[in-house]
Amino acid sequence: MIHANHRKTLLEMLSLPTAPFVEGAVVAYVERFCRARPSLTLRRDRSGNLLVHLRRGRRRVRRPICLTAHLDHPGFIAEKMIGPKRLRAIWRGGVRPEYFIGSGVRFHADGKWTRGRVRSISQYREGGIKRVSGATIEVAGAVPPGAPGMWALPDASIRGRRLYSRASDDLSGAAAMLCCIEEMTRRRLEGEAYFLFSRAEEVGFVGAMAAARSRTIPKRCIVVVVENSSELSFARMGDGPVLRVGDKMSVFHPPATDHCGAVAAELAKSDGKFVYQRKLMDGGSCEATAYAQLGYEGTCICLALGNYHNMDTKRKRVALEYVDTHDVANLIKWFVALARNRPPYTGRNDALRKRLDGISRQYRKVLGETRQTPIH
């Protein structure tokens, strides 16, 4: 189901090095991709987030969609060499301490990878939970300060219906946004949408909050956060991308969620292969919560993810993350439908309102004949 062009974009982007605050390789990829399509408007805000504006056709959309995904993944940042083959590195992201000691890593600098192995870690407590703040790593050669480090896992690949990578969360979401842009421009489809590629989500929505506070995203936009969320028993990969109505912190903006659902329902009628889910994914937190607190209307669409943050909980070891390729293909279709602004956002659930009005009319007379008992 993955178009050849999309396959190339996914595999290339998901093989790039990244970590919180050191997303340079992915930022450069997005910039090259967009500059190859002159019809797009691309700008970088003062926090390093990238905003792409796509508009085809004469009609200005009153409430366009802004799809947004983050470009980082839990990882290391080289701090300094403390011996000929010893590196001190900072760790940023949510991976449990038991996955570190003895695990292979590799750092990217000057176009090449340098391998290493974690020998010790430093920890701290946050809310009673042990978290890793840094590591001492035995490396094959000198690593310059600031180089991003990731687990020593293979580049992205597709095997059967699974897309495996070091950093599906959230590079598969960001790559799907690029695939949407490619579809819109290649097929010359009319519509208007914004695409925000944000930084440093894994340390607490830092890039997204900076973008919201500086109004990088126009206030007229409906924000749709694109995420990977750990697969749950009631939200399985292969059953379609998930309209995420909330996370463990909040419920997202109902009209925005309803709009994305209406677009998906319309798409399912015209495309028999398109499937999607609507679920409360409360296994983690999402940038949609931050956007809501900072004045935006928004919701989330996510992919069900295996080996969340590279933690293979069954084998108790570091492993590749993975998602279902059919889910990715349907995610791209959904993005294209949203970018084409069909149906237009009204802030109302017209189908639900019509259904409720019908029920009210049906029982209006019966309700009026019911004797009301005073409340004492």
Query: Class of the 75-151 domain?
Result: mainly beta
Q: What is the pLDDT of residue 369?
A: 58
pLDDT at 318 over 90: yes
Q: What is the distance between the alpha carbons of residues 303 and 171, in angstroms, rounded to a whole number?
A: 11
Q: How far apart are CA 122 and CA 134, in angstroms?
A: 5
pLDDT band, residue 255 (cuts 50/70/90): very high
Give residue 171's region: left, alpha or beta (phi > 0; psi -120 to 50).
alpha
Cβ-based burial of 91 (10 A; exposed 0-12, middle 13-18, buried ≥19): buried
Taking the C-alpha atoms of residue 32 and residue 52, their distance in angstroms, rounded to an integer, is 12
pLDDT of residue 366: 84
Say how far apart CA 358 and CA 376 lie, in whole Å. 33
Which residue from 180, 300, 302 is spatially nearest to 241, judged by alpha carbons?
A: 302
- Count of alpha carbons within 13 Å of 91, Cβ hemisphere only? 22
Type and span of the H or E element at 126: strand 112-126
Give start-end residues of each CATH 3.40.630.10 domain in the chain. 4-73+155-339
Going by pLDDT thresholds of 50, 70 and 90, the confidence category of residue 1 is: confident
pLDDT band of residue 371 (cuts 50, 70, 90) is low
Tens of pLDDT, residue by residue over 24-68, are 999 999 999 999 999 999 999 999 999 999 998 877 788 999 999
Residue 352 confidence (pLDDT): 79
The single residue listed with the structure tokens 């293909």 is 329
Residue 197 has pLDDT above 80, yes or no: yes
Alpha helices by DSSP H, listed for the chain, are 4-13, 24-35, 168-186, 206-213, 254-270, 287-293, 325-339, 350-369
Which CATH number is 4-73+155-339 given? 3.40.630.10
Residue 86, pLDDT > 60, answer yes
Instruction: State how far the Cα of 355 lies from the Cα of 199, in Å rounded to an integer.
Output: 42
pLDDT of residue 368: 77
Q: What are phi and psi of 170, to 5 degrees?
A: -125, 30
Q: For position 372, what pLDDT does the model report?
A: 55
Give the confidence band of 240 by pLDDT, cuts at 50, 70, 90: very high
The confidence score (pLDDT) of residue 284 equals 80
pLDDT at 119: 97
- Report how far apart the first and last C-alpha atoms of the chain are (Å, whole number): 64
Per-residue pLDDT band for 157 (boundaries 50, 70, 90) equals very high
Q: How far apart are CA 169 and CA 298, in angstroms?
A: 20
Is the model's pLDDT at 224 over the cut of 90? yes
More confident residue, 282 or 302: 302
**pLDDT digits 0-9 by tens, 110-119:** 999 999 999 9
- In the chain, CATH 2.40.30.40 covers 75-151
| pLDDT of amino acid 360 | 87
Instruction: Quote the pLDDT of residue 374.
Output: 58
**pLDDT grade, residue 69 (50/70/90)?**
very high
Say if residue 370's pLDDT is above 70. no
